[in-house]
Amino acid sequence: MKLISRIIFTKILFICLFSSLFAQIPQVPAEMEFADLILRINPQARREIQLDVDALHRSPKHFQVKMDRFNLYRPIIEREFRAAGVPEDLKYLVIQESGLIADAVSTSNAVGFWQFKQGTAEEVSIRVDRQVDERKNIVNSSRGAALYLRGHNRTFDNWMVSLIAYQMGAGGAKAYFGDRYRGKRIVDVDRNSHWYFKKFLAHKVAFGEQVFQLTSNTNSLRLAEVKVNGPTSLDALAKKYKVSEEHLKEMNKWTSNGKIPAGGPYYLVFVTDDQVEFETGIEPKNPEKSSNAGKSSPKYSTANSYPRIAGNTTKASQPDQITVNNLDGVQAAYTTTQDTFAEKIGIKEKRFRRWNDLEPGERVEAGEYYYTEKKKAKAEVATHIVQPGETLWSISQKYGIKLSSLKAKNRIRRDQDLKAGMVLNLQEHRKRGEDIPVVQISNPSKTVIAKNEQPVTQPKSNPVTSASSNQKATNSASLTHTVSPGETLYAISKKYGVTVDQLKSWNRIGSQNIISVGQKLTIFKP
């Protein structure tokens, strides 16, 4: 009798659990938000989408596997979408495309998390070759997917059409929809709506709106993201981060045979329950700014500590040895061509030129620092005072800010429009019609600070950099320049309109182009 009672109780418990699971399957609403759209879904479309939602929940085990995988990768996907200005709602597309299987391959030979074909991947700066396939890298592929979707939305001005264009291409979407949805913010979803979008809505409902999850033993785990440079191997990195090589291979299928080639940075990921924070690919956040600081009497900085060089500076001319403004960089040991230099440091010439805002044919100058990864949209300080001889390019390199961003923030396009003493914004965009302030730079004794920062008294041995504070006339034909922190021979040569070779000859500087802070250089006026 007791045995029968237990059997009955077990059956009742199973029925209750099954009913609970079924009852908790999220239901497709009649109206929902997607990106910046309001979707009105008619009953027939709701039934069609609900069938897909039910199918996704049919196997609790398989559903939970996908959910665990999604929760693991989701922070990276959301970060990359936010950085590109793409609504986070579109993150559910990755489940629809690949189920978050890194090496998934479609019948049309689309590969990876976001199912890129090789040509499309290369359009959004995803590397695909015999050594590396970044379509299988969650960071690079998510960044590429965000750029691809954003590009579509610039064309269609509608995130529904942009999402469908992900599947059928911009040309196909243009032929299919025309301009019917351009700028439209309320969309009716019915039996004639595109199947791909309705399939996407099923994933958004199933994985985004659920109120019940089966317990999982992976809830305490997280995805560690590490920025690495090659050449190296997964074997060496496994020892460094105390994980198994097999696990690194499983999580980083973008590498070829466990080898990471020269260059980078590359983004290594692995699962850990360790609370130690590893270096990630996330750019550091700017410190909070006081909304009232600098409004009545703004003060600005000449930022004489930039560019900030760190790492093994004795090998600055070799790749993967130094950082420039917290970005990977390298110093040119001698003047050469872009293709020769790019080959030497192990990156593609076009990528090197794009990352450093160089024109085709422009030479790499000895002593100058160059970036081996993308520059940022903002600098770490708020402003810069233009010094004599500086150009928009030299300022962008000094702070690691994209040249296009520097120009856009200040509404200035030509070097001819620069004037010594101009205060350029390095973080915030200047308002339309707002004049660029100009300050005096001829008084070195005056304390100068960055807007919204606390004043710091400069030591006597390192005065604030200005045209008059670090140079003095020795006679009518020459002057003396005192090297400030972060300055290079190339920057100094540009400031005074002379060549690097002339500076080296006048001051007996060797082939390594080494100068030190406080060193006095003799400069003959051209």
CA distance 55 to 461: 72
Collapsing DSSP states into helix, strand and coil, what is residue 144?
A: helix
Q: In the beta sheet, which residues pair with residue 184? A: none
CB 410 within 8 A of CB 425: yes
Nearest to 322 by CA among 333, 337, 308: 308
Beta strands 186-189 and 37-41 are parallel
Does residue 265 have a cis bond before it (omega within 30 degrees)? yes
Residues with Cβ < 8 Å from 172, sequence gap 6 or more?
165
pLDDT of the chain, 526 residues: tens digit per residue: 444 445 444 444 444 444 444 447 899 999 999 998 999 999 999 999 999 999 999 999 999 999 999 999 999 999 999 988 899 999 999 999 999 999 999 998 999 999 999 988 988 889 998 899 999 999 999 999 999 999 999 899 999 999 999 999 999 999 999 999 998 999 999 999 999 999 999 999 999 855 334 434 445 678 889 989 889 999 999 999 889 999 999 999 999 888 998 887 899 999 887 554 444 443 333 333 333 333 333 455 444 568 888 877 778 888 888 888 888 899 998 888 999 999 999 899 999 999 999 988 888 888 889 999 999 988 888 889 888 778 899 899 999 999 998 998 898 888 888 888 899 999 888 887 788 898 876 543 332 333 333 333 333 333 223 333 333 333 336 788 887 766 777 778 777 878 777 777 777 676 556 676 677 788 876 6
pLDDT at 341: 93
φ, ψ of residue 277 in degrees (nearest 5): -90, 125
CA distance 25 to 173: 32
Helices (H), 319-402: 338-345, 349-355, 392-399
Per-domain boundaries in the chain: 24-104+140-208, 222-272, 309-461
CA distance 74 to 67: 10
Which tokens in the block code for residue 287? 């410190």
CA distance 126 to 433: 38
CA distance 235 to 248: 8
By CB neighbour count within 10 A (0-12 exposed, 13-18 middle, 19+ buried), where does 433 fall? exposed
* CATH 3.10.350.10, domain 309-461, yes or no: yes
pLDDT at 99: 94
CATH no. for 222-272: 3.10.350.10
CA distance 340 to 370: 14
Domains 222-272 and 309-461 equal at CATH topology level? yes
Nearest to 398 by CA among 331, 332, 486: 486
∠ CA 434-435-438, nearest 5°, is 145
CA distance 107 to 347: 32
Beta strands 186-189 and 222-233 are unpaired
Distances in whole angstroms, Cα of residue 371 to Cα of each of 67, 307, 501: 38, 11, 23
Q: Annotate 388-437 with three-state secondary structure.
A: CCCCHHHHHHHHCECHHHHHHHHCCCCHHHCCCCEEEECCCCCCCCCCCC
CA distance 515 to 521: 9
Which tokens in the block code for residue 460? 């006597």
Residues with Cβ < 8 Å from 399, sequence gap 6 or more?
303, 306, 307, 325, 379, 380, 381, 384, 426
Nearest to 367 by CA among 264, 513, 178: 513
CB 34 within 8 A of CB 91: no
CA distance 483 to 495: 12
Q: Is the pTM of this model over 0.85?
A: no
CA distance 211 to 432: 47
Does residue 75 have a cis bond before it (omega within 30 degrees)? no
How many CB atoms are located within 10 Å of the residue 356 CB? 22
Q: HSE (CB half, 13 Å, CA atoms) of 30? A: 2
